[in-house]
Structure 1
Amino acid sequence: MNRAQHVPYVLEQDEDGIWCASAQLRPGVGAVGDGSTAEAAAADLREALIALIEEVGFSPEAAVTVDVA
């Protein structure tokens, strides 16, 4: 079974040129990522969100996609 959760995120570049990405999985539970490019920051955030979901589980409001073969 595949599960998918779409999480909106904010992407910003700081004064030193580092890209920062942040997202809230649910109220009070979020993750951040950073990198030298916007793509690297988004990829780092994705890894952080995967680890967070493994730790705290999917959001109760998450859309679930089920593939049945």
Structure 2
Amino acid sequence: MSRAVHIPYTVEQDEDGVWCAHAYVGRVGCNGNGDTREEALADLRDSVVMVLEDDGAPEEITIMLDVA
């Protein structure tokens, strides 16, 4: 069985040109950074997966990040 999780997020480029993505999984903040928007979102996805794994989420899970 798989489960889709929709997580609102924000993404922005800071003054140094680094892309930063942010989301909350419950009350836990997740962050991702990268040289491109896509890298920041991939890093954010990894952060979200780690939080879900730590909280005992099922192994089969599809994560879809939705813009807040």
TM-score range, shorter chain: 0.7 to 0.9
TM-score norm. by structure 1 comes to 0.77
Structure 1 unaligned regions, length at least 5: 59-69
Residues in 2 aligned to 1:30 and 1:57: alpha-carbon distance in whole angstroms: 17
Task: Name the one with the larger strand percent.
Answer: 2
- The CA deviation string for residues 20-63 of structure 1, in whole angstroms up to 9 with x for no partner, is 0000111x2120000000000000000110111000245xxxxx
Q: Which has the higher contact order (CA 8 A, sep 6+)?
A: 2
User: Quick one: percent identity of the two aligned structures?
Assistant: 51
Q: Which structure 2 residues correspond to residues 10-29 of structure 1 after superposition, within 5 A?
A: 10-26=10-26, 28-29=27-28
1:4: how far off?
1.4
TM-score norm. by structure 2 comes to 0.78
Which contiguous aligned blocks of 4+ residues in structure 1 show a shift greater than 2 angstroms? Answer: none
Larger Cα Rg: Structure 1 or Structure 2? 1
Structure 2 unaligned regions, length at least 5: 58-68
Residues in 1 aligned to 2:13 and 2:48: alpha-carbon distance in whole angstroms: 20
